Chains A and B, each alone.
Chain A
Amino acid sequence: MSARSNILNKLRAGLAGTTPRPDDFNEGLVTRPWQYAPEDRIARLRSLMEAVHTEIHQLTTEEWPARVQELLESRGLKNVLYAPGTEHGKQLAEHWQRAEPRPELLVYDRPIEEWKEELFWQVDASVTGTVGGIAATGSLVLWPDRHDPRLMSLLPPLHIALLKASEVEDNLYGMMQKQNWSAGLPTNLLLVSGPSKTADIEQVLAYGAHGPKELVVLILEDA
């Protein structure tokens, strides 16, 4: 007999004569304490994310590529990785063509295997989109796909994420329902709530453990 059937048989024997417990999920418990007036949502997200070392800018949709340029130049960074197949990627590329800033625009357009070493060590920053934010916990929702690959938000020391102000929800439960997550999830759905950190030595908080040392969120107000 296989391990599988042995395990399942043992478990079934343990349940003999019992009936499954009812589903008494109470959504009020995970929503009611975490509701905000529309005008408070962004403030809540902001304060939670800033408390864990995230830099936040609120600006209009037209302004953001120039702000990316400023962020890079003020830090003296050499380059920034972008996703050419995305809407925001195209906007960034246009800006770069027009303004011709110093930092080099790197394209994520080939499989990781072809440039792993470079991606691990040479890339200074990245720009990714998000599919929303969560006010209750101060989180970004990232939905990586073929256009916006997974490692973009992990490897570069500076991660710049774009968040539409209109896509901030109150809580995780609301977000799940609104976007109907249970109908289909991507390969790797992510909630990101700050830059990478650790408190493994003496519980002293240190940022930039393995992922980005800095997270900058650009909240885009619809102009």
Chain B
Amino acid sequence: MSQRIPVKELTDSFRGRAVGALADDQLRTNFRIAMDSLMQKRADAFPDEEEREGLRELGNHIKARALSRLPDLLEQLETRLTANGVKVHWAETTEEANRIVHSIIEAKQGSQVVKGKSMVSEEMEMNDYLADRNIECLESDMGEYIVQLDGEKPSHIIMPAIHKNRFQVSKLFHDKLGVDETEDVNELIQIGRRTLRQKFLEADVGVSGVNFAIAETGTLLLVENEGNGRMSTTAPPVHIAVTGIEKVVENLRDVVPLLSLLTRSALGQPITTYVNMISGPRKADELDGPEEVHLVLLDNGRSGAFADAQLRQTLNCIRCGACMNHCPVYARVGGHTYGEVYPGPIGKIITPHMVGLHKVPDHPSASSLCGACGEVCPVKIPIPEMLQRLRQENVKSPAEQPKVKDGGAKYSRKERAIWRFWASLNTSPVFYRLFLWGATRFGKLAPKNVGPWTENHSAPVPARRSLHDLAKAHLNQGDQR
């Protein structure tokens, strides 16, 4: 099965996809149910507000401290890991990261790869890259496996197959694996278990992500419930971990609050079933574990966000998914509408740095700025503030030198001119009165088509008398009484 798995093309723009998603009742029901339950679970996991807020503050400080020393900590991490026998690689682009991963696999003449859940490998589109080179790269997280089997991408960073229900999974397994249809979720999971266990056994290389990389000890920490992460990092002879450069923390003790924030915010669990801390390859006298462990540190636009003190906060993210669970836009349009690896609020603030605003011009504005995301974020990223900042960057003219990759994607001279006109209109009394005089008399000449507004509304027609005028008349009447 080493041919390329066709990934259903994500056509159209955010707007176009959103219209489709909003009309899909099944999809909306699946998301609504899931988001409601995830929100409830998080609330139950933080019964004490004071405790929660203290922990969020601490989480924020730990990440901010790590970022304030990021280059030093990355070097320290590299030194420790190297001393422990782990090979560290650096990649500026996803292409570079893929090349590194491929060359490690090639050196081992590997043809089969199993992957634990890793969002960074999704960024890299590693599955496709390896498939093009005749290497099978199989997802082993149940949700990711289901999604991959159907040629799709994850729709949620923690619950990749949340858009599907059991009947859809049953049909998929029946069609692709030739098993009998069943509505029993347990049975469906057992089918996945059997199929994937054989793959773990055969795999030449295991790939995983990293939740926290600890500089002090040279340790890669992974959390999970299924055991596929442990499988991918323990059973194959080679383990390759891929991660973003922002995942490093200074000390081992720093992960205590972060871990608690992560699992409680994500799934409402006090802890995940497994916390897997890897500090090196198999030692000479050990009986199992990979003989080689590699870590690929990926930049992919992160250093761009890092360069700006405000936007840098985006890199606090510990990928818990709480912001999407609480987002009214995400819950309605679903993960695929975003068209990129990271959906929801975090996707809106991180993706522009990775792919540029040209590719995701609607991301910063696809928000009501209700503030729910910022309120629940366990590391206190002010997401609404970031969105506003990105909106500004999005409309900057080239002369204003936007700070974000492909900033100014939505810059329009016409719009800028209209706003300038509007500003001068409202700051000059003479001009204002003149305009008012004209608008009330020649209202019929107002444009019938005013952009997206008239797609769903009738065009506004100026009234014959202005509010000023009416108010003046009203007050005069009062004087006469």
Residues of A within 8 A of B (CB): 2-4, 6-8, 10-15, 18-27, 29-30, 33, 48, 52, 108-113, 116-117, 120-121, 136-139, 145-146, 149-151, 154, 171-173, 176, 181-182, 184-204, 206, 208-212
Residues of A close to B188: CB separation below 8 A: 201, 206
Task: Tell me the B154-174 residues at the A interface (CB within 8 Å).
Answer: 159-162, 164-166, 169
Q: Could you list 9 examples of A-B contacts with CB < 8 Å?
A: A7-B245, A11-B245, A27-B253, A149-B289, A181-B217, A182-B217, A182-B251, A192-B273, A210-B197
Contact between A30 and B289 (Cβ–Cβ < 8 Å)?
A: no
Residues of A close to B193: CB separation below 8 A: 208-210
Residues of A close to B190: CB separation below 8 A: 208
Contact between B65 and A201 (Cβ–Cβ < 8 Å)?
A: no
Chain A residue at minimal CB-CB distance from B285: A146
Bound form: Cα–Cα A199–B286 in Å: 33
Contact between A22 and B65 (Cβ–Cβ < 8 Å)?
A: yes
Measured between C-beta atoms, what is the minimum distance from B227 to chain A in Å? 3
Residues of B close to A206: CB separation below 8 A: 185-186, 188-189
Q: Tell me if B375 is interfacial: C-beta within 8 Å of chain A.
A: no
Residues of A close to B201: CB separation below 8 A: 116-117, 120
Bound form: Cα–Cα A154–B61 in Å: 35
Could you say which of A137, A138, A196, A201 contacts B225, with CB atoms under 8 Å apart? Answer: A196
Contact between A200 and B279 (Cβ–Cβ < 8 Å)?
A: no
Q: A149-B286, A189-B279 are in contact. List 8 more A-B contacts (CB 8 A).
A: A3-B90, A3-B92, A30-B260, A151-B234, A187-B279, A191-B275, A200-B226, A203-B37
Residues of B close to A137: CB separation below 8 A: 270-271
Contact between A200 and B64 (Cβ–Cβ < 8 Å)?
A: no
Q: Tell me if B351 is interfacial: C-beta within 8 Å of chain A.
A: no
Known contacts A3-B96, A190-B274; is-contact A154 B227 (Cβ 8 Å): yes
Contact between A197 and B159 (Cβ–Cβ < 8 Å)?
A: no
Bound form: Cα–Cα A111–B235 in Å: 12
Contact between A185 and B306 (Cβ–Cβ < 8 Å)?
A: no
Residues of B within 8 A of A (CB): 33-34, 37-38, 48, 51, 54-55, 58, 61-62, 64-65, 68-71, 74-75, 90-92, 96, 140-143, 146, 159-162, 164-166, 169, 185-186, 188-190, 192-193, 196-197, 200-201, 216-217, 219, 225-228, 230-231, 233-235, 237, 245, 250-254, 256-257, 259-260, 267, 270-283, 285-289, 297, 299, 303, 306-309, 312
Contact between A15 and B68 (Cβ–Cβ < 8 Å)?
A: yes
Bound form: Cα–Cα A57–B162 in Å: 36
Measured between C-beta atoms, what is the minimum distance from A214 to chain B in Å? 13
Contact between B71 and A200 (Cβ–Cβ < 8 Å)?
A: no
Contact between B68 and A30 (Cβ–Cβ < 8 Å)?
A: no
Bound form: Cα–Cα A63–B6 in Å: 57
Measured between C-beta atoms, what is the minimum distance from A128 to chain B in Å? 13
Residues of A close to B270: CB separation below 8 A: 48, 136-138, 193
Known contacts A151-B235, A203-B37; is-contact A209 B306 (Cβ 8 Å): no
Contact between B225 and A198 (Cβ–Cβ < 8 Å)?
A: yes
Contact between A203 and B159 (Cβ–Cβ < 8 Å)?
A: yes
Measured between C-beta atoms, what is the minimum distance from A143 to chain B in Å? 10
Could you say which of A6, A109, A200 contacts B161, with CB atoms under 8 Å apart? Answer: A200
Bound form: Cα–Cα A53–B402 in Å: 54
Measured between C-beta atoms, what is the minimum distance from B226 to chain A in Å? 4
Contact between A202 and B286 (Cβ–Cβ < 8 Å)?
A: no
Known contacts A150-B234, A154-B231; is-contact A12 B71 (Cβ 8 Å): yes
Residues of B close to A14: CB separation below 8 A: 303, 306-308, 312
Measured between C-beta atoms, what is the minimum distance from B365 to chain A in Å? 27
Chain A residue at minimal CB-CB distance from B67: A21
Measured between C-beta atoms, what is the minimum distance from A43 to chain B in Å? 15
Measured between C-beta atoms, what is the minimum distance from B88 to chain A in Å? 9
Could you say which of B61, B166, B225, B309 contacts A197, with CB atoms under 8 Å apart? Answer: B225
Contact between A191 and B197 (Cβ–Cβ < 8 Å)?
A: no
Chain A residue at minimal CB-CB distance from B275: A191
Contact between A210 and B275 (Cβ–Cβ < 8 Å)?
A: no
Known contacts A3-B90, A182-B251, A201-B142; is-contact A112 B287 (Cβ 8 Å): yes
Could you say which of B74, B192, B278 contacts A187, with CB atoms under 8 Å apart? Answer: B278
Bound form: Cα–Cα A15–B271 in Å: 34
Contact between B71 and A182 (Cβ–Cβ < 8 Å)?
A: no
Contact between A197 and B226 (Cβ–Cβ < 8 Å)?
A: yes
Chain A residue at minimal CB-CB distance from B281: A187
Known contacts A8-B71, A12-B71, A21-B65; is-contact A188 B234 (Cβ 8 Å): yes
Contact between B90 and A4 (Cβ–Cβ < 8 Å)?
A: yes
Measured between C-beta atoms, what is the minimum distance from A53 to chain B in Å? 10
Measured between C-beta atoms, what is the minimum distance from B33 to chain A in Å? 8
Could you say which of A26, A52, A108, A111 contacts B273, with CB atoms under 8 Å apart? Answer: A52
Could you say which of A113, A181, A204 contacts B166, with CB atoms under 8 Å apart? Answer: A204
Chain A residue at minimal CB-CB distance from B221: A189
Contact between A24 and B61 (Cβ–Cβ < 8 Å)?
A: yes
Could you say which of A2, A8, A48 contacts B75, with CB atoms under 8 Å apart? Answer: A8
Measured between C-beta atoms, what is the minimum distance from B320 to chain A in Å? 15
Residues of B close to A146: CB separation below 8 A: 283, 285-287
Contact between B253 and A198 (Cβ–Cβ < 8 Å)?
A: no
Known contacts A117-B201, A203-B34, A203-B37; is-contact A154 B234 (Cβ 8 Å): yes
Contact between B287 and A111 (Cβ–Cβ < 8 Å)?
A: yes
Contact between A201 and B166 (Cβ–Cβ < 8 Å)?
A: yes
Chain B residue at minimal CB-CB distance from A19: B68
Residues of A close to B217: CB separation below 8 A: 181-182, 184-185
Chain A residue at minimal CB-CB distance from B279: A185
Residue with the greatest number of chain B CB neighbours at <10 A, chosen from A33, A52, A150, A184: A150
Could you say which of A29, A136, A198, A209 contacts B58, with CB atoms under 8 Å apart? Answer: A29
Bound form: Cα–Cα A33–B252 in Å: 20
